[in-house]
Structure 1
């Protein structure tokens, strides 16, 4: 069969033009998180290939690793990123051509300035990095608090005069909670821009509005006449912008284009009023099993764990209702049809994805973004890991020693240093299920280990068989592969253990971790993330973790999930965003760079807890880790084998 997901890149261009024609401001398309699941490189290439007078001003990504990947693919448009790691290689970031960097703190500003190249003992002004100062105007995530704006801007002005940076923009983001709350954020943003100009900065671009705000509020793109200046500021001249080039100063309001680029309306069930074309089409094979019909897609492919009364059409136009969504297959209940061969999940109409979102009690953003990249027709055979030193810490640590000990039949041992480990489970299958990229563990690495123990391989869907063949792995198509073929991963009935150290089948052979990339003290009443669904009831400390539903944390965990920061259990607060979540650190002594354990291992939540919070099956928890999550392998040296 062809790839289940087909991407219409012509529709990308159409939707960009439709939005650009509707707003009186330059448009910055957002292609972060693999372009909301549509393929970051392919979407960026489609936009960059437009005629020169129609191309976007720049493209937006979340972090420098995403920017690096686009540059490596030949994308020449300016890029902007805004999520920085505590371990970021700032000199490597500076080397990415024409990269604008969102800066949220004095710490980030200092690190970027210290990495400025020096020639003959003097700062190379021609290599000054373009900076956009990111202001927290009320969203409670990354960005400088208002009480920090003056000192951040004053320091940025000093560094600009030294030629280490150039302040090219001021940016923020709205919550979309209500017209009153959005207006309050606009007022705060305008105060920030006015302060920057008063201090002496001359940002070219200012941007607050994304898709919805740009369409709903005309004043979100209005430049205040009071911001204009007749003279060129001294800092601008020092940065190489002379009065002869810019006799007067007036900033440009830009807007960021997100979901509508991909043919989806963020106001559903209301409407933006744009002529949008669907971009992602999802079709799948349907097979008969016993007395049921099942389609070969499930939670491990990115489908939500539950939907309510969702209707789909087959290739003959007959209607079917989606029943249970399992890890790799979903049941279908016939309403009109009797023998489908292919099911159309979404794609022919913009409302299709909205129907999934409504049935799953989520947003259309999450449906497309969590669809796994291995299903796309524009996906590479091998997903490249993020460029080292440029991505925030998003790490899936995989215990190959534990997996190999299980593959040895429960009695084999591998060395971790000088300590041998054994396992008690003696009922492992002679085959390994490598569906869904070995359920996120990495099919090529698991297959290499399996061959050492004489194992053969199966996959439960045809599209997984074909994906494995593309990387040289011969797997038998076996839709009914039993749970014994997956015990090596730790998906057994005892999956509650979070690092028990016993080596039993219930211990997950992997753990997910991240880091704090920003820490801020806030007062009671501080709201967090979209919709202001959480507000601090007391003065507290908030921490930003660079993991979102594009990576590992579905929106369904809102209000329930906990993680561990430096060993302390803390709640995730506010709605889960595409690239980040906020944790309430209380009065604990926390700092940027502290480790965050999400699930698994000795310090994370148990797999059983995470399944209860998210509604996902154990296999789907690991299988739906996004491409920005780095796989880190421990051990794997097999004793006694040639």
Structure 2
């Protein structure tokens, strides 16, 4: 490879994940491609998801929505995070559904619709317990009443009502039931003022897979779209999601060192015996979290080897032990793992890197930096064999 590192994205895996979730959920799906498709590339992922049967695309900004339209994607798009002084006219002109959580946002959207001469299509978001975006209970009646007024006047069309779950990943927990009850109450209030939304949606990836009562008309899938089980290895079921990204690099330096050799800054790590150290041209600027130091592993020479010492901005060090290693040898930082599972020695997974760093897979995937080249393989198998030779 010519780049120092590459993120290989298997679009066939994206398509397979759409099929898997659709088979379980039995509803239409919104492929969430915000944050440049969780670092995978929004446009290629969107095309793969739509070709596999997803009916919607989800983003969080005007720029993200318009980038999809500029790429020629005409599928329905919901964009849900905006300032009240955003240029909503551009979203209206691009036929993008606008998520609305406050009355000031709704007023601004209606004004933009009046200037554009065409109604805005909106989806009203209720805060059912996440306490982020969305109208809280005391604000919700005012929001839906204004929405109905604008709808009657022809300024907006209320296409959907939705919310977001706080903890659907906790199997059997009471949080989902509480939020579901609040959501049903919000729906009732909206209908009593005369709103008749075409779409009602609440489920995220975890709920789409394991909480049937939350599925309604549409499930929004983010993490599952990219092949990461939202429940982790110990979660309910075996959903056979296929990881879409494999992060690869190559060895750029090799040195044999004696016991007592300090490694990287500090040094925080000192070798306990003679060993071989190899240098990888990937660091925290490329998305390897420093909090994974001392726990992280990579796949090198047909086995897992530990990352040792501090992860620097541009590089990190791997203890290769007594492996015969040479400059240019391939390394997999994370990938789909294997059918046998990580404990049997498969490639490290993004979920493992998240656990080593004390964070979520979302942060690992979206943190893969711009210096890492993305390469796309539309048709290769989603899950490679353990120990397969790397191209």
TM-score, length-scaled by structure 1: 0.51
* Equivalent residue number for residue 317 of structure 1: 302
* Equivalent residue number for residue 241 of structure 2: 276
* Equivalent residue number for residue 192 of structure 2: 198
> Is it true that 1:265 corresponds to 2:229 in the alignment?
yes
Query: How much does 1:289 deviate?
Result: 5.6
Mapped contact 1:303–1:371 kept (Cα < 8 A):
yes
In 1, the alpha carbon distance for the partners of 2:304 and 2:141 equals 60
In 1, the alpha carbon distance for the partners of 2:303 and 2:288 equals 21
Mapped contact 2:7–2:373 kept (Cα < 8 A):
yes
Query: How much does 1:112 deviate?
Result: 0.3
Mapped contact 2:85–2:108 kept (Cα < 8 A):
no
In 2, the alpha carbon distance for the partners of 1:197 and 1:23 equals 25
Unaligned stretches of 5+ in structure 1? 222-251, 380-642
Which of 75, 81, 87 is residue 89 of structure 1 equivalent to? Answer: 87
Mapped contact 1:159–1:165 kept (Cα < 8 A):
yes
* Equivalent residue number for residue 14 of structure 1: 16
In 1, the alpha carbon distance for the partners of 2:206 and 2:299 equals 31
Mapped contact 1:322–1:330 kept (Cα < 8 A):
yes
How many positions carry a matched residue from both structures?
337
User: Which secondary structure state, in structure 1, belongs to the residue aligned with residue 252 of structure 2?
Assistant: strand
Q: Note the 1:456-471 alignment, pairs <5 A.
A: none
User: Which secondary structure state, in structure 1, belongs to the residue aligned with residue 230 of structure 2?
Assistant: coil
Q: Note the 1:108-127 alignment, pairs <5 A.
A: 108-117=105-114, 124=117, 127=118
Query: How much does 1:322 deviate?
Result: 0.6
Per-residue Cα deviation, 1:478-532 (whole angstroms, up to 9, x for no partner): xxxxxxxxxxxxxxxxxxxxxxxxxxxxxxxxxxxxxxxxxxxxxxxxxxxxxxx
In 2, the alpha carbon distance for the partners of 1:319 and 1:33 equals 30
Mapped contact 1:39–1:378 kept (Cα < 8 A):
no
User: Which secondary structure state, in structure 2, belongs to the residue aligned with residue 174 of structure 1?
Assistant: coil
* Equivalent residue number for residue 35 of structure 1: 37
Query: How much does 1:270 deviate?
Result: 2.0
In 2, the alpha carbon distance for the partners of 1:336 and 1:22 equals 46
User: Which secondary structure state, in structure 2, belongs to the residue aligned with residue 373 of structure 1?
Assistant: coil
In 2, the alpha carbon distance for the partners of 1:141 and 1:12 equals 28
**C-alpha spacing 1:86/1:166, structure 2 compared with 1 (3 Å):** closer
> Is it true that 1:76 corresponds to 2:74 in the alignment?
yes
User: Which secondary structure state, in structure 2, belongs to the residue aligned with residue 176 of structure 1?
Assistant: coil
In 2, the alpha carbon distance for the partners of 1:372 and 1:197 equals 45
User: Which secondary structure state, in structure 2, belongs to the residue aligned with residue 133 of structure 1?
Assistant: strand
In 2, the alpha carbon distance for the partners of 1:86 and 1:219 equals 33
Per-residue Cα deviation, 1:517-568 (whole angstroms, up to 9, x for no partner): xxxxxxxxxxxxxxxxxxxxxxxxxxxxxxxxxxxxxxxxxxxxxxxxxxxx
**C-alpha spacing 1:198/1:298, structure 2 compared with 1 (3 Å):** same
* Equivalent residue number for residue 106 of structure 1: 103
Per-residue Cα deviation, 1:385-436 (whole angstroms, up to 9, x for no partner): xxxxxxxxxxxxxxxxxxxxxxxxxxxxxxxxxxxxxxxxxxxxxxxxxxxx
Query: How much does 1:93 deviate?
Result: 2.3
Query: How much does 1:176 deviate?
Result: 0.3
> Is it true that 1:151 corresponds to 2:142 in the alignment?
yes
Query: How much does 1:336 deviate?
Result: 5.0
* Equivalent residue number for residue 180 of structure 1: 174
* Equivalent residue number for residue 312 of structure 2: 326
> Is it true that 1:346 corresponds to 2:331 in the alignment?
no
User: Which secondary structure state, in structure 1, belongs to the residue aligned with residue 288 of structure 2?
Assistant: coil
In 1, the alpha carbon distance for the partners of 2:279 and 2:74 equals 44
Q: Note the 1:530-549 alignment, pairs <5 A.
A: none
